[in-house]
């Protein structure tokens, strides 16, 4: 069993190594040499891109995770899970089920990484709006307000806001920088806040900044409370999960011991070297 799993891992790694490619280099070759006949390697690479889910890969690039790591893990899971399913059920149907399950496990794992990053940022939007309102009420123009609140933000929101500030200071328009942020997160409530800020930069700040966003703010504040509760209870959840796993293992020991004793009892005399 161990050798089967190890072989599957080695084969998956070998396939990935052979099919690994530099996308920028491929694009340069297309420009300099021209479009050539598509090779088998390029066809398989394209298939790998489809397997790797381009939308999720784009999101992983957004948060700084190397998409090739996701691609490799997907291939490994799709190679290992069929082996495990076949070993458990000895039926070719479950081998195909294992392929789909391997893809799904890898996709869900990395999708959860992105969603956790995005929720962490979205949960801080109410604080962002509060800081912006204070700066706008004191007379800051939107660009200055964006720069002045950067030091007050924390976590993922702070990193994204520093990116916006760096873009505006390098000559990028505030609208382009904010809409880039909106595209990276793709959340309706956050986009509404950023669109209002862009309109204030173009048309002037109203008497009550963000006063027309009560619906969005109520939704965001509810999300913020839920996420803060989740962050506070995460260690407790982890400890509970570990405790349950230990309890399950301890509870299963007598069961497997009974099976082992039964098997030993059915062995012919002398099978154990006595």
pLDDT of residue 68: 83
Q: Is the pLDDT of residue 273 over 50?
A: no
Q: Is the pLDDT of residue 132 over 90?
A: yes
Residue 233 lies in a domain: no
Q: List, as one string, the DSSP characters of 99-147.
A: HHHHHHHHHHHHHHHHHHHHHHHHTTHHHHHHHHHHHHHTT--HHHHHH
CA separation for the pair 168, 197 (Å, rounded): 14
If you search the block for the tokens 């979205």, which residue do you land on? Answer: 122
Residue 13 lies in a domain: yes
Q: Is the pLDDT of residue 99 over 80?
A: yes
User: What's the count of helices (H) and strands (E) in the chain, helices before strands?
Assistant: 12, 0
**Confidence band, pLDDT 50/70/90 cuts, at residue 225:** low
Residue 159 lies in a domain: yes
CA separation for the pair 203, 198 (Å, rounded): 9
Higher pLDDT, 77 or 7: 77
**Number of domain units in the chain:** 2
Long-range contacts of 103-107 (CB under 8 A, 24+ apart): 103/51, 103/74, 103/77, 103/78, 105/77, 105/81, 106/70, 106/73, 106/74, 106/77, 106/78, 107/53, 107/56, 107/74
User: Model-level pTM?
Assistant: 0.55
Average pLDDT value for residue range 202-231: 74
Residue 72 lies in a domain: yes
Among 12-26, 35-49, 99-113, the least confident range: 12-26
Residues 109 and 8 in one domain: yes
pLDDT of residue 259: 64
Higher pLDDT, 33 or 149: 149
pLDDT digits (tens, 9 = 90+) for 171-205: 999 999 999 888 888 778 888 889 899 999 999 99
Q: Is the pLDDT of residue 35 over 50?
A: no
Residues 112 and 127 in one domain: no
Residue 141 lies in a domain: yes
What range does the domain containing 129 cover? 123-224
pLDDT digits (tens, 9 = 90+) for 226-242: 666 555 555 555 555 55
Residue 38 lies in a domain: yes
Higher pLDDT, 62 or 118: 118
What average pLDDT is seen over the chain?
Answer: 73
DSSP 39: P
pLDDT of residue 105: 84
Q: List, as one string, the DSSP characters of 195-249.
A: HHHHHHHHH---SSTTTT-HHHHHHHHHHHHHHHHHHHHHHHHHHHHHHHHHHHH
């Amino acid at each position: 069993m161990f050798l089967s799993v190890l072989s599957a891992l080695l084969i998956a790694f070998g396939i990935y190594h052979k099919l690994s490619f530099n996308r920028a280099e491929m694009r340069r070759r297309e420009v300099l040499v021209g479009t050539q006949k598509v090779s088998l390697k390029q066809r398989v690479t394209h298939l790998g891109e489809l397997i790797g889910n381009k939308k999720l890969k784009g999101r992983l690039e957004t948060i700084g995770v190397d998409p090739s790591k996701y691609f490799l893990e997907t291939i490994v899971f799709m190679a290992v899970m069929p082996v495990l399913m076949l070993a458990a059920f000895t039926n070719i149907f479950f081998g195909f089920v294992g392929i789909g399950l391997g893809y799904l496990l890898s996709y869900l794992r990395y999708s959860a990484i992105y969603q956790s990053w995005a929720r962490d940022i979205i949960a801080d939007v109410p604080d962002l709006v509060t800081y912006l309102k204070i700066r706008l009420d004191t007379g800051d123009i939107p660009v200055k307000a964006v720069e002045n609140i950067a030091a007050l933000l924390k976590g993922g929101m702070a990193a994204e806001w520093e990116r916006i500030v760096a873009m505006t200071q390098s000559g990028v328009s505030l609208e382009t920088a904010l809409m880039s942020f909106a595209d990276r997160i793709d959340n309706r409530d956050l986009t509404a806040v950023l669109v209002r800020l862009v309109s204030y930069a173009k048309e002037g700040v109203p008497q009550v900044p963000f006063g027309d966003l009560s619906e969005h703010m109520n939704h965001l504040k509810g999300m913020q409370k839920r996420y803060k509760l989740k962050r506070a209870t995460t260690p407790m959840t982890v400890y509970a999960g570990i405790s349950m796993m230990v309890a399950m293992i301890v509870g299963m020991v007598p069961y497997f011991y009974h099976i082992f004793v039964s098997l030993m009892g059915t062995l012919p005399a002398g099978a154990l070297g006595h």
